[in-house]
Amino acid sequence: MSKIKTLGEFIIENQSSFPYSTGELSKLLNSLRLAAKMVNHEVNKAGLVDIIGGAGDVNAQGEDQQKLDVFANDKFIQAITNRDIACGIVSEEVDDFIAISGSNESNNGKYVVLMDPLDGSSNIDVNASVGTIFSVFRRITPVGTPVELKDFLQPGKDQIAAGYVIYGTSTMLVYSTGDGVNGFTLNPAIGSFYLSHPDIKIPKTGNIYSVNEGNYTHFPQGVKKYIKYCQQEEDERPYTSRYIGSLVSDFHRNMLKGGIYLYPNSTKNKEGKLRLLYEANPMAYITEQAGGKAISSNQRILDIVPSNIHQRIPFYCGSTEMIEKLESFLKN
């Protein structure tokens, strides 16, 4: 039986594989680990304290903020800011980027972090899984206050780390620094994450498709044809339809079992719903690191040069052969 390894040990052991890292990326990953534990504690007692229900405000997307959204946003910002490693943060919950002035009032942190602190939060009140999604880039400007266009609007292929936390039946942290994908499960009794899913590879094909079929009539023709293809009685089809309505949960299941997740553009959401910088990019990076494929209509997501920090895009990711089949329908 292989030695039980904690996330902390794993980060240290793999530090030498981080390009140009002088330990700061390890410190950043450890700060995200700490915040994940704090959010996990609150999420898991949400039903017990008066912390669920709207905080009365709306976020950058105009969506009702859940109190846990606010809590998660605050905890991740605090954890990242306290470490003097990042010079700026983009959060789904905040209109503009957050510049971090270090302990000596200089913004010289080497990295920028982009995050959805609590994705799927509308599921909190019904006790369905929710998640945190994060993406890390090296800053482009040398020092000082980060510049949106240069430091935050980088193409996803330049990410140096990305990951997600899923607060589910167990809490897991899954991430990549460009050398494969590894999953760690939290032992809540002692507050440590243990390596439980080493070197995750998404199966080349699968029989699960995840899409909100309630929007079917609004989808592009190619997507409609693909959904009908999934439902045909032929070969290994019909596939199974599974849609939790929480990206991290639907994504994580497809990662382990194989499958495809679709959030198309539609006549209702002309650019789609999911955000490029802190949902599509990190999930696309992890998908490719696990051997899968992630596209937006007819292009690789990681090649897209963002135009604004809350940009939305059509989002398709999962098993390579399923994505390629979808592409054949999108092209016609």
Strand pairing of 86-91 and 260-263? unpaired
Q: Which of 283, 295, 147 is nearest to 222 (CA)?
A: 295
Contact flags string 178-197 toward ligand P6P, x per CB under 6 A: --------------------
Q: Which of 37, 252, 253, 273 touches ligand P6P by CB under 6 A?
A: 273
Q: Which of 34, 86, 174, 247 touches ligand P6P by CB under 6 A?
A: 247
**Burial zone of 94 (CB within 10 Å; 0-12 exposed, 13-18 middle, 19+ buried):** middle
Q: Which of 21, 65, 246, 289 touches ligand P6P by CB under 6 A?
A: 246
Least separation in angstroms between CB 261 and ligand P6P: 8
Q: Which is nearer to ligand P6P, 64 or 327 (CB)?
A: 64
The answer to the question of residue 58 lying near ligand P6P (CB under 6 A) is no
DSSP track, 48-115: TTTT-SEEEEE-TTSPEEEHHHHHHHHHHHHHHHTTT-EEEEEETT-SS-EE---TTS----SEEEEE
Judged by CB under 6 A, the stretch of 17-25, 38-46, 240-248, 286-294 that binds ligand P6P is 240-248
Q: Which is nearer to ligand P6P, 83 or 253 (CB)?
A: 253
Whether the Cβ atoms of residue 33 and residue 134 lie closer than 8 Å to each other: no
The answer to the question of residue 78 lying near ligand P6P (CB under 6 A) is no
Size of the site for ligand P6P (CB under 6 A): 9
Residues 6+ apart with CB under 8 A from 147: 140, 141
| 321, two tokens | 């052969």
Q: Which residues are annotated as a binding site for Mg(2+)?
A: 92, 116, 118-119, 279
Q: Which residues are annotated as a binding site for substrate?
A: 119-122, 212, 243, 261-263, 273
